[in-house]
Chains A and B, each alone.
Chain A
Amino acid sequence: METQTSQKTLIDGSKLMIEALAQAGVDTFVAYPITPSNWMYKYGKERFPQFYAAPDEITTFQWMAGMSAAGRLPATSSAFPGIALMVESINMAYAMELPLVVIITQRLGPSTGSATTGAQGDLALLNGIISGGFPVPVFSPSGFEDIWELSEKAVQTAVKFRTPVFLLTSKEMVMYQKSFDLKNLKPIKKISRPKPDIKGTYLPYKADKTLVPPFIPLGDDNHLVRITASTHDEAANIRKNDPEALANTQRLKDKFMHRIDELSVYDLDHEEGAEKIIVTWGITTDAARDAINLLRSSGNKIDLLIVKSLLPVSPEIYDILDQYQEIIIAEENLNGQFKEILFGVRPVNQVKQVNKMGNMITPDEIVSAVS
């Protein structure tokens, strides 16, 4: 017996993502329009208690950082050209340890490329976006349920780890409409910025065992707050490379790596006896699901790994991949960016790549890559 009647609607991924972010606690949206994230802008304008039309992407990010430092929870959406302008500011917010969420709708590059053509070409940028080799959390939805759940996860992660978080999606994922049953959406828990109760002097970058310092907003009536993007000690005094300041900088990486299991999200579709596995992420997942069905229906034993938390790479991913004789990694970019993150640029015998640009990878293209 069906306990709940279906609630099917025709909906797009942009709407689900904005709604999920709002339900999860994002209260401010700042953006400069850019194709293919314009639907986010449109929905964001309706959905968030505060919305700001910034004059450019650098301003966008600076306003977000300022508002986050004052205790609000901001988000934005953009595409590569806008993200490129934000890079220095992203580093700033990362060093200041300010929670905020950045949606990237990937489109075909390089440069202006094709604004209305989808892609999965910005993962490599995110892998190195923080100067010095620091990881930044990147979640990539593989479908509408993921858009919902990972948006919540992104907000949760931003607050819990005091960090910018990326939601890496693409034109095709957020700009098509689909019949979708809203009852598949799990309830979202609203995340609030925690209000730590601190007695005595507040050291803004002194962390406990979580390695995440408690956050008090600028303008607080009881504690003076110092925030800085330059190399600093626990009190936010700017220091050069002295041991305390370097330890604080090292902590920016360690705070993620010592709890990486809390960031890890993936789906493994496993079939007993499979020795081959297709690995994919983002928009190519749709084709990979069809490819798996085709392969299995013709008698192949093969598994599917959908990676949803791309960065930092979870050790679980290697534990899984170590079980297989053949690994086929499918993603819509020229070089195989996730493959290169996992295995480097040197060809690896058991790893095959399915890459493409300008169009989505088709199920047949994945099927024909499997030996």
Chain B
Amino acid sequence: MTQNKNTYLTDKKFPFCPGCGHGISINALNKALQELNYGPNDVIVVSDIGCSGLIDPLFATHTIHGLHGRSPALGLGVAMGVAQKQNKKVIAFIGDGGATIGLQHILEAARRNIDMTLIVLNNLLYGMTGGQISGLSTQKYKEIIDFEKDVPPFDLIQLTHASGARFAVRVNAPNKIKETLKKAIQTEGFSIVEAASLCPSYGMKRMNDLLEVVEHEEIMEHDRPATKIVDKKVHSLLTETPVIQPAFQSNLKNRKGIIIAGSAGGGAQSVARFLALAGMHAGLETTMKGEYPITVGTGFSVAEVIFDHKPINYTGLETPDYFIIVTEDGLNKIYSKLHSNAKIYIDEKLVTEDLKNEFSNLIAVPFSKMANRKSIALAAAAYVLNQTGLIPVEALKEAVSSHRLKDIFIEVIDKVTQQAV
């Protein structure tokens, strides 16, 4: 690429229409950078689509040219990426058209306040597609063209200020743009400069006309330090997954599947995990999975556990061998899976005449008398292990022993299994 001396611009001719205001802002930025003494390798210019995006080939700095409306987000990504290098400055351009596509990105960048500068070239309209109005077209301009007068424009300066931008400025007078940009670039943190820019093809023909229709100039600042980016120290996730050496024996003959059906907050998921761990303590292969509504705090909570001596491939459980049903939510959820060849352990309060008539294999147990709402699934699981001998109850106690509530859990297990004896 060709680079002129003492300039951050290439020798490419500006592609803008005669009289276009974008050139003024680009020259102002070039001068601002010269006065601030950045090296070309320290500046990364981010651009997107639209007339403002045509700046990409003009800068003899690092450049990245992306999607319409995304330069604030792409630029913030670059800013995060270079944050730990010395003295790098990300300067993103966007037009008023792109600014509404990427409004979320702009507010997010303001909120994060990571060091970067966003220059919004506001020519009040979509210059590349026929001069349609934009979300930043001013009230006065819309009155002149008599379109959407009842819809106010976004005020990017107010919005970004409210979101936490360190420095947010609207500038209309061409002779102020350079100084404003210098201040923005020197600001550590997120800065935004909205510069009024004449569109001679579709909007105003003369600078004076433009200045009559733009929003008033505004400077809004926060005394807020820029967010620093650091790499945090991390460690392997595998160090926290306990390795299990089997110390118990299982009476399991062949593959068995258990369904635990309860309600949110009743521990069905943790109990299924305890059962799976207990199986492993007894030398078995196991899989465990849960199902619950998206609203995790209410409704059913169902978990499946499979045990086998052999490695388990398919983890589906169409016909469970054991059901442990402790609440009505749970019962309703798994009702269609109940079948006459399973052992169906169910809280006695849930047994109705209809259910008894349909399934002669119900085993009614007073689970709700054995433990409170939070421990009922654990009590039921302990009961079933004790009755079936599938896995030693001691293996279940071993499984809960690393939990912070182990004392409570062991008490629940002991109470149930001793009662049963």
**A224-B62 contact in complex given A10-B241, A52-B80, A179-B286, C-beta closer than 8 Å:** yes
| Known interface pairs A22-B234, A224-B61; A8-B243 also in contact (CB < 8 Å) | yes
A172 within 8 A of B: yes
Contact among B62, B273, B293 for A226, CB-based, below 8 A: B62
Contacting B at CB under 8 A, from A272-303, are 285-287, 289-290
Contacting pair A27 B316 (CB below 8 A): no
Asked if A214 lies at the interface with its beta carbon under 8 angstroms from chain B, I say: no
User: How many residues of chain B have a CB within 8 Å of chain A?
Assistant: 67
A151 within 8 A of B: no
Q: Which applies to chain A's interface (DSSP): helix, strand, loop or mixed?
A: mixed
Tell me the residues in window 72-115 of chain B with beta carbons closer than 8 Å to chain A beta carbons. 73-82, 85, 88, 104-105, 108
Interface size grouping (class) on chain A: 35 or more
A244 contacts chain B at the CB level, 8 A cutoff: no
- Set of chain B residues within 8 Å of A7, measured between Cβ atoms: 243
Tell me the B181-229 residues at the A interface (CB within 8 Å): 229
Check A224–B41 contact: CB distance below 8 A: yes
The answer to whether B57 touches A10 (Cβ under 8 A) is: no
B299 vs chain A, min Cβ distance (A): 12
B318 A218 Cβ-Cβ under 8 A: no
Closest residue of A by beta carbon distance from B47: A228
Residues of A within 8 A of B46 (CB): 66
Across the interface, do A176 and B287 meet the contact criterion of CB distance under 8 Å?
A: yes
Min C-beta distance of B111 to chain A, whole Å:
9
Q: Which residues of chain A are within 8 angstroms of B254 by Cβ–Cβ distance?
A: none
Write the nearest CB–CB distance from A341 to chain B, whole angstroms.
25
Contact flag A290-B289 (CB < 8 Å), given A49-B231, A220-B41 = no
Q: B420 to chain A: which residues have CB within 8 Å?
A: none
Q: Which residues of B contact A88 (CB under 8 A)?
A: 67
Closest residue to B67 on the A side, CB-wise? A92
Smallest CB gap from B86: residue in A: A221
Decide: A66 and B63 in contact? CB cutoff 8 A.
Answer: no
Shortest distance in angstroms between B359's beta carbon and chain A's nearest beta carbon?
23
* A 235-265 contacts with B by CB, 8 A: 235-238
Interface-located stretch among A68-76, A158-166, A343-351: A68-76
The reply to whether A66 and B229 contact each other, CB–CB distance below 8 Å, is no
Shortest beta-carbon distance from B271 to chain A in Å:
13
Q: A211 near B: Cβ within 8 Å?
A: no
Tell whether A229 is near chain B: CB-to-CB under 8 Å.
Answer: yes
A69 near B243: Cβ-Cβ < 8 Å: no
A47 to chain B: which residues have CB within 8 Å? Answer: 234, 237
Q: Which of A50, A52, A219 has the most CB of B within 10 A?
A: A219
Among B64, B77, B229, B316, the residue within 8 A (CB) of A64 is B77
CB atoms of A363 and B82 under 8 A apart: no
Q: Are B289 and A172 in contact (CB under 8 A)?
A: yes
> If A7-B243, A287-B314 touch, does A65 touch B66 (CB 8 Å cutoff)?
yes
Contact indicator A116/B291 (Cβ below 8 Å)? yes
User: Do B81 and A66 touch across chains, with their CB atoms under 8 A apart?
Assistant: yes
A140 to B41, CA, bound (A): 40
**Which residue of B66, B273, B293, B313 contacts A229 across the interface (Cβ within 8 Å)?**
B66
Could you say which of A52, A178, A218 has the most chain B C-beta atoms within 10 Å of its C-beta? A218
Question: Is B70 in contact with chain A by the CB < 8 A criterion?
Answer: yes
C-alpha gap A286/B44 in the complex (Å)? 49
Q: Is A130 an interface residue when CB atoms closer than 8 A count as contact?
A: no
B67 neighbours in A (Cβ, 8 Å): 62, 88-89, 92, 229
Cα distance A152–B1 when bound, in Å?
37
Within 8 A of B (CB), among A24-57: 27, 35, 43, 46-50, 52, 54-56
Are the C-beta atoms of A363 and B81 separated by less than 8 Å? no
For residue B57, which residues in chain A have a CB less than 8 angstroms away from its CB?
Answer: 237-238
Expressed in whole angstroms, the Cα–Cα distance for A115 and B293 within the complex equals: 9
Residue B284 interfacial (CB < 8 Å) = yes
Q: Mark the stretch among A11-19, A121-129, A308-316, A321-329 that contacts chain B.
A: A11-19
- Do B104 and A10 have beta carbons less than 8 Å apart? no
Task: Name the residue on B nearest A228 (C-beta).
Answer: B65
- Give bound CA distance, A223 to B236, whole Å: 36
Closest A residue to B288 by CB, please name it: A177
Q: Residue B247 at the A interface, CB < 8 A?
A: no
By a CB distance below 8 angstroms, the chain B residues around A177 are 273, 276, 287-289
A58 at the interface (CB under 8 A from B): yes
Residues in A neighbouring B286, C-beta threshold 8 A: 10, 178-179
Instruction: From the candidates A11, A59, A363, name the one contacting B314 in the complex (CB within 8 A).
Output: A363
Q: Contact: A218 with B82, CB < 8 Å? A: yes
A84 at the interface (CB under 8 A from B): no
Q: A19-B236, A22-B234 are in contact. Are A55 and B108 (CB under 8 A)?
A: yes
The answer to whether B60 has its CB under 8 Å from any CB of chain A is: yes
Q: How long is the Cα–Cα vector from A225 to B112 in the complex, in angstroms?
A: 26
Does B232 make an interface contact (CB < 8 A)?
Answer: yes
Interface membership of A370, Cβ < 8 A: no
Known contacts A10-B286, A59-B104, A179-B280: does B65 contact A286 (CB below 8 Å)?
A: no
State A219–B86 Cα separation when bound (angstroms): 10
Q: Sorted from nearest, which 4 A-B pairs have the closest CB atoms?
A: A66-B77, A70-B81, A62-B73, A176-B289
Seed contacts A70-B77, A176-B315, A226-B63; 19 additional CB < 8 Å A-B pairs: A43-B237, A46-B237, A48-B234, A62-B70, A65-B66, A66-B73, A66-B75, A116-B294, A172-B315, A179-B279, A220-B62, A222-B41, A226-B65, A227-B65, A228-B56, A238-B57, A286-B314, A287-B313, A362-B314
* Chain B interface residues (CB < 8 Å from chain A): 1, 40-42, 44, 46, 56-57, 60-67, 70, 73-82, 85, 88, 104-105, 108, 229, 231-234, 236-238, 241-245, 273, 276-277, 279-280, 284-294, 312-316, 318
A–B complex contacts, Cβ < 8 Å, 22 sampled: A6-B245, A9-B241, A9-B242, A10-B288, A15-B237, A22-B234, A58-B70, A59-B73, A62-B76, A62-B105, A63-B77, A70-B77, A92-B70, A175-B290, A176-B315, A177-B287, A226-B62, A230-B65, A236-B63, A285-B313, A362-B314, A362-B316
